[in-house]
Amino acid sequence: MGTRRRSVAKALVLTGLLLAAFPIAARAQELTPLQKITANGYQKRLDTYKAQLLHYSSQANIEWTLLIVITVLGGTTTIVQGVNKPWTKVCVALIGVTVATLTVVNDGFDADRKTLGKIVSDGNQLIAESEAVLASLEPQSVQIEPGSAEEASIRSFQQGQLDTVLQKIKQLEALRPLRSDSNSRALLSDVL
């Protein structure tokens, strides 16, 4: 009877020790404070790039609209010139001024619509990949002995993942159009 009580007591003590050690082991996969700060900083940079890509996307849409309007006005000019009435000269002149003004406005964008579309597409892909990597760094309950080779391996892996995100952010920084207005430079200077 005494042996059985000792066995039960030993089992309870071992279970208690394992349960007490589990929270320590589970923390092994959490990011270090410096890695958390780095990951949060990277996420803020990605959010800024999302805003920039939204800006580029709206510019590309406006350029498409201007292209359509200029094309319609060009066709309208051709039709009006075919009419032999006194008001046609004034109408053609007004359409010509409108097309010239729209062409000047169209030249004020960061880049042409195709370039902006490619930047938005590539940028969104890089952001999605980066956010997936950052999400994979969320802590998971894994039993790892603190100070073990496994913990060091996980820390190294986590740092490698953060380095991967940094490389993608550098690729995002390189996605700037050749022409850049003051708004784009202001948005990007906040990130850099």
Q: Which residue has the higher pLDDT, 38 or 185?
A: 38
Q: What band does 106 get if pLDDT is binned at 50, 70 and 90? A: confident
CA–CA gap between residue 28 and residue 19 (Å, rounded): 15
Q: Which helix (H) or strand (E) holds 6?
A: helix 2-26
pLDDT of 184 over the 80 cut: no
> Residue 156 above 60 pLDDT?
yes
Name the packing angle between helices 33-81 and 88-106 (round to 10°): 160
Q: How far is CA 42 from the centre of its chain?
A: 10
> Taking residues 49-71, what's their average pLDDT?
92
Q: Phi and psi for 111 in degrees, rounded to 5?
A: -165, 175
pLDDT at 143: 66
pLDDT at 183 over 70: no
The DSSP line for 91-144 is HHHHHHHHHHHHHHHHTTSSS-HHHHHHHHHHHHHHHHHHHHHHHHTS------
pLDDT tier, 69 (very low <50, low <70, confident <90, very high otherwise): very high
Q: CA triplet 103, 109, 113: central angle to 5 degrees?
A: 85
Residue 2 pLDDT > 80: no
